[in-house]
């Protein structure tokens, strides 16, 4: 799990709507190329992603979603989202930093 699980920060990503089967989703793509992954997120979860700003704690995110939507999002659900985003390098933190360093070293070592 990322060290930033308490205050997750979504990296600058491209988000665009799509339809997968009968589901409306938001696709996330990394224009900087740190990751080639494209994640699909149910459209209803997009407001949560916007709150992953590196300042708000997961408790703050829960409170803001309750205020905005009147819905309780369980901490375990938020932690699961954070872990998936982090595994795919969509969050700022040690994993994304390590991948950027690896890519930089590979570029510098290339002929």
Question: From residue 5, how far is each of 26, 68, 73, 81 by CA, in Å?
Answer: 22, 22, 16, 10
| Statement: the pTM of the whole predicted model exceeds 0.75 | yes
Q: What is the pLDDT of residue 1?
A: 39
| Residue pLDDT, tens place only, 66-78 | 999 899 999 999 9
Q: Is the pLDDT at 22 greater than 50, yes or no?
A: yes
Coil, helix or strand at residue 63: helix
Across the range 82-87, mean pLDDT stands at: 96
| Residue pLDDT, tens place only, 86-109 | 999 999 999 999 999 999 999 899
Contacts of 110 (CB under 8 A, 6+ apart): none
Phi, psi values for residue 32, rounded to 5°: -80, -15
Across the range 39-55, mean pLDDT stands at: 93
């Amino acid at each position: 799990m990322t060290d930033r699980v308490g205050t997750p920060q979504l990296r600058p990503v491209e988000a665009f709507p799509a339809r997968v089967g009968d589901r409306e989703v938001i696709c996330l793509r990394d224009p900087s190329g740190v990751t080639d992954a494209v994640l699909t997120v149910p459209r209803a979860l997009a407001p949560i992603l916007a709150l992953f700003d590196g300042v708000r704690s997961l408790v703050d995110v829960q409170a803001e979603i309750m205020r905005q939507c009147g819905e309780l999002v369980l901490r375990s659900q938020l932690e699961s989202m954070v872990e998936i985003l982090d595994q795919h390098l969509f969050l700022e933190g040690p994993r994304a930093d390590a991948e950027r360093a690896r890519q930089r070293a590979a570029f510098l070592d290339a002929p």
